Structure 1
């Protein structure tokens, strides 16, 4: 099949800085984007330090799809080519929580979420096959850490063929307790305010017995992972736990929201060999 090259016009913001970017999707339509990434050190040597903004700007990525008109519910291969500012392939990457690249895919209304891990093929190229559940716009976000430069994220919007479903409103939750896969998960926030560090504590119990769950298994080397996006999909945070060795019932994280607005939070945890994902929506003053 014909490959469509999607060249990422560089934007990445590391820690609390934000950068503007424009990206071109496979159909040639321009998409504006504003991305932010936050990594919070936890003392784990498997976690790459964050690059500063000038270092991130020295790296570019080119996204390629195996089909220039990707179809819903059909296998699509995504390739990411990582290069320096002169177009030369960057070929060495640090392992960051057991993987050299983490990829997050979300639909425009944030109702669809997928966290996958492209395989490194060498010479700066990562590939992964996945499916999109329906037509519409999706944001692809790649986390990686070129050796000697540091951790960063690059993002790209693409359009999948077909009529997209009606957009689901992104409305702040009135209750921060959700039941997923037989687990009752409550999210506790000590305070919510833009540009202020806060603690996120996911408390997990059996939904039927209400017994605390204390046998969570490591997921990518930690008790869990949290991804946060704002309503527009432009502010991106990938947060790791403050106590990676915890097995529950509490999974604690620390982060800060860069701006006021509505954010969607996905917590990911593992029990009995199965990963479960718990979404929450909060409003940040």
Structure 2
């Protein structure tokens, strides 16, 4: 059914919930290419606080004593090279003990400041504590790297962020308008997004089809039938969620997320079919608030039970 992503509700049961939010101004000094990052309004901040959401991941290079240190510089658009980075711990030494998180010890997400150029990589950890992965950037510009991991000593997921520059001729890409359908390259795959993104918890269902036929034999990728990342326009606050456990391999993949503030976000769904991992991308507009309870009727019984 064709529903507007920004305007219609879909109610769905979920298990896994990842929350990000809080002060929108954190990290906004480095906004997308060619734009001025929006500032948080007091209303949005109050809404975030009342929704119980927390600060987005990836806005800082250091958190809870852990730091993301990128060793590689000098990237040029279109030229592959090895990307190296370390995670240092509270003692300043490189961390080498990590717990698996969604089947991997490290997820490296990369996107340009205008939310184009998304990549999801899985580096290898060397005995020297350096993570290494081949990387290439098709377009010049400023990029944000997100290291998503669980230090064994902390037993808690962290997402740290750092910026890198890619030299060349930067050509900003306008953020596509919101849509509830994403077509995946020339492969014939399409993904429909149903849900009502609002400040606070939102239920999202992504339905995969190919050539108009629902896909019912999705393959597990990172332990699930889909993997979802969301980035907030402006400061690139990071949300990483996985769907509820499901024995049904599509077409629907259900997520729950807590958006921290009104505004525009870019969603990236990774899914695997036919042995190939593909990515569907969406722009969503998050409304100010969720559904509100009805106001008490003046003709009620005096206890707020008006109808």
| TM-score where L is the length of structure 2 | 0.72
Counterpart-to-counterpart distance in 1, 2:114 and 2:272: 26
**Pair 1:178 & 2:182 matched:** yes
Aligned to 1:227: 229
Counterpart-to-counterpart distance in 1, 2:235 and 2:121: 18
Deviation at 1:250, TM superposition (A): 0.4
Check the 8 A contact 1:243/1:251 in 2, yes or no: no
**Pair 1:256 & 2:276 matched:** no
Aligned to 1:161: 167
Which structure is higher in strand share?
1
Unaligned runs of 5+ in 1: 1-13, 25-34, 39-52
The 1:259/1:23 distance shift into structure 2, 3 A limit, reads: closer
Check the 8 A contact 2:207/2:253 in 1, yes or no: yes
**Pair 1:60 & 2:67 matched:** yes
Aligned to 1:30: none
- Correspondent of 2:132 among 127, 130, 139: 127
Deviation at 1:240, TM superposition (A): 0.5
- Correspondent of 1:205 among 201, 204, 209: 209
Aligned length: 241
Deviation at 1:125, TM superposition (A): 2.0
Deviation at 1:246, TM superposition (A): 3.4
**Pair 1:111 & 2:116 matched:** yes
Check the 8 A contact 2:28/2:235 in 1, yes or no: no
| TM-score where L is the length of structure 1 | 0.77
Q: Which range moved further: 239-248 or 216-225?
A: 239-248
**Pair 1:36 & 2:56 matched:** yes
- Correspondent of 1:268 among 270, 279, 284: 270
Aligned to 2:82: 77
The higher-RCO structure (CA 8 Å, 6+ apart) is: 2
Deviation at 1:56, TM superposition (A): 3.7
Counterpart-to-counterpart distance in 2, 1:123 and 1:129: 18
Counterpart-to-counterpart distance in 2, 1:235 and 1:246: 31
Unaligned runs of 5+ in 2: 1-18, 31-54, 288-307
Deviation at 1:263, TM superposition (A): 0.2
Give deviations 1:5-57, integer Å, cap 9, x for gaps. Answer: xxxxxxxxx85456946999xxxxxxxxxx7139xxxxxxxxxxxxxx9x942
The 1:140/1:161 distance shift into structure 2, 3 A limit, reads: same
**Pair 1:95 & 2:100 matched:** yes
Give deviations 1:158-194, integer Å, cap 9, x for gaps. Answer: 11111111x1222432x311222212211001x2211
Give deviations 1:185-240, integer Å, cap 9, x for gaps. Answer: 11001x22112x11110112222xx2221000001111010010011243110110
Aligned to 1:283: 285
The 1:56/1:90 distance shift into structure 2, 3 A limit, reads: same
RMSD after superposition: 2.7
The 1:194/1:22 distance shift into structure 2, 3 A limit, reads: closer
The SS at the match of 2:224 is: coil
Check the 8 A contact 1:243/1:252 in 2, yes or no: no
Aligned to 1:10: none
